[in-house]
Every structure is written in structure tokens, then in C-alpha cells.
Amino acid sequence: MLKIFMVIVTVILCVGYTFVLYKKRKDMENPHGWKSYVTPFVFIFAPVFALLSYIFGFVGIVTWLVLGVGFITASFFTKYLPEPKGSQ
């Protein structure tokens, strides 16, 4: 029962985050191309990967390593995120 609840909540949050991200970015100018999408992709990928590793019993150093490398990569690519409207 807990695993089903975790899957439902993760799907709802990831879909909601993707929808909000799409609405905010559809009118923004994107001079950096694909680099500005790395950070949001990692923030969507991380909970899905963590949930799948928990469900399939693959929790361990490999999961921590993949998530750690993902978050370090996401933090590096934050400099390519577009500036929000109205920020000075």
C-alpha cells in the first residue's frame, strides 16, 4: 500500500512540476539551448530514480552515486537557467 501511495504522489508531483515549468518557459527567451534544461530534467529524474530503486530493492551506493552525480551536474548547469521576467 505504501509503495502504491509513493508512486501516485511521485507521478502527481512530477507531472505538476513539468506543467508549471512548461507554462513559465513557453514565452521565455532561451539563448543557451539544451543546457538550460539539464537542471529541471535532473529534478524530475531524481525522485523517479529514487522511487524505482526503492521499489526494486536497489537501494545502495550506486543509487547514492547516481543521485549525487545528478545533483552536482544540475548545480553546475544552473548558470544556464533563463532569467525570470522582471528580475534585475
Enclosing domain of residue 73: 2-80
| Res 84: pLDDT | 72
Question: pTM of the predicted model, to two decimals?
Answer: 0.79
Residue 10 lies in a domain: yes
Residue 87 lies in a domain: no
Residue 85 lies in a domain: no
How far from 45 is each of 27, 52, 85, 87, CA to CA, in Å?
Answer: 24, 11, 26, 28
| Res 29: pLDDT | 77
What tens-digit pLDDT sequence spans the chain (88 residues)?
Answer: 988 999 999 999 999 999 998 888 887 777 778 888 899 999 999 999 999 999 998 888 999 999 999 999 999 999 988 877 766 5
Where helices occur in 26-60 by DSSP H, the ranges are: 38-55
Residue 15: other Cβ atoms inside 10 A: 11
| Res 8: pLDDT | 95
| Res 88: pLDDT | 57
Residue 7 lies in a domain: yes
Backbone conformation region of residue 57, classed left if phi is above 0, alpha if psi is from -120 to 50, else beta: left
Residue 88 lies in a domain: no
Residue 39 lies in a domain: yes
- Number of folded domains that form the chain: 1
Residue 86 lies in a domain: no
